[in-house]
Amino acid sequence: MKKVVVHRAGSYDRLCIEEHADLAPGPGQVLIEVEATGVNYADCIVRMGLYSSAKKYVGWPITPGFEVAGRVKALGAGVSAPAVGSEVIGLTRFDGYATQVVVPEAQVFAKAPEMTATVAAGFPAVFLTAHFALIELCKLRPGMKVLVHSAAGGVGGALTQIARLHGCEVAGVVGSAHKIEAARSHGATVVIDKGSDDLWAAAERFAPEGYDVVLDANGVETLSESYAHVRPTGRLVIYGFHTMMPKTGGKPHYGKLAVDWLRTPRFNPLKLTEENRSVMGFNLSYLFDRPELLAEGMRDLLGWQGKLRPHEVRVFPLSRVAEAHAAIESGTTTGKLVLVPD
């Protein structure tokens, strides 16, 4: 088997493709022959050595990757399904950048026949992130006004679709004009191009009383204003800090990180209480300790097939993993990036 291995933190040259012995499933595990692997921005943070759960659960060396699609090759002791040869989606806490993965039985789900392997591989991480944010943390009600930053991206598009599915009105924020159509295709009620519009003036026109939910993975660039535009009883949900990270070069700028950390808003619990607002944050990689939540999310999402629009997929061979990382870090992509075996 082949897999991408990162032996120590750094730029794209740290993504080493290596030959390793074929895997065998242990008790309660499923061996999947991988046909496609989803690429997520978190994978880049893993490579840079800044992803906290990677340090906690694995350390160095590490193989990035949270999601795969492929066929069951073998079952471990005590596992009777899915059948060998069946098409599945696997959730992995790392190790997904490989031609084989071993996954606990509870993290394997039947792939819908109409989904290609590349679409299926790009589905779980972004839609589970959106599901947890909106369904677990926010009690959506029809008519709610929701602001989604980065609405043309993987998570942003999933957030937009799930919010619209539940009858909410969505203001989708994008960074440039070429992303407007992607945000519209996900169902955004209005699209705000912050490259040409005054973001917060446009946001106020759509929701003069503020937003019931604001979803922000930008970090310091927008967090203060995101909170300021939450209405009483509303929620700000934080799931990333992308603007603190580099868009080129593949390495963090530690001086900028330090300055941005100092500039990051701190939320006073007394003020939260007085203003009747909530601030919540989460990281999907820590939810692997709660497999029942992952399973519930996947059941919902797979049950909503036909109502959710799959993301457009851009495919890279595994040997060009560095190009995929550079692309997703650039902030210019829409939809999902996926790796396939050469």
pLDDT digits (tens, 9 = 90+) for 82-118: 999 999 999 999 999 999 999 999 999 999 999 999 9
| 146 shares its domain with 84 | no
Cβ contacts of residue 330 below 8 Å, gap of 6+? Answer: 247, 248
CATH value at residue 236 = 3.40.50.720
Question: Does 190 map to a domain?
Answer: yes
| 78 shares its domain with 184 | no
Question: Does 295 map to a domain?
Answer: no
| 281 shares its domain with 134 | yes
pTM of the model: 0.95
| Host domain of residue 80 | 2-123+310-340
Question: Does 192 map to a domain?
Answer: yes
Tokens encoding 23 = 């895997």
Percent of the chain with pLDDT over 90: 95
Residue 162 CA, chain-centre distance (Å), reads 14
Tokens encoding 276 = 């009747």
Cβ atoms within 10 Å of 329's Cβ, excluding its own: 22
pLDDT score, position 305: 87
Cβ atoms within 10 Å of 77's Cβ, excluding its own: 9
| 278 shares its domain with 165 | yes
CATH value at residue 42 = 3.90.180.10
Question: Does 300 map to a domain?
Answer: no
| 245 shares its domain with 256 | yes
Count up the domains in the chain and report the number. 2
Choice between 306 and 29, residue whose per-residue pLDDT is larger: 29
| 114 shares its domain with 149 | no
* 304: nearest Cα among 136, 166, 116: 166
| 335 shares its domain with 231 | no
Determine the Cα angle at 172 with ends 171 and 174, to 5°: 140
Which tens digit of pLDDT belongs to each residue from 206-247? Answer: 999 999 999 999 999 999 999 999 999 999 999 999 999 999
| 192 shares its domain with 110 | no
Q: Please report, to the nearest 10 degrees, the dihedral formed by the alpha carbons of residues 307, 91, 15, 155 taken in order.
A: 30
pLDDT at 310 over 90: no
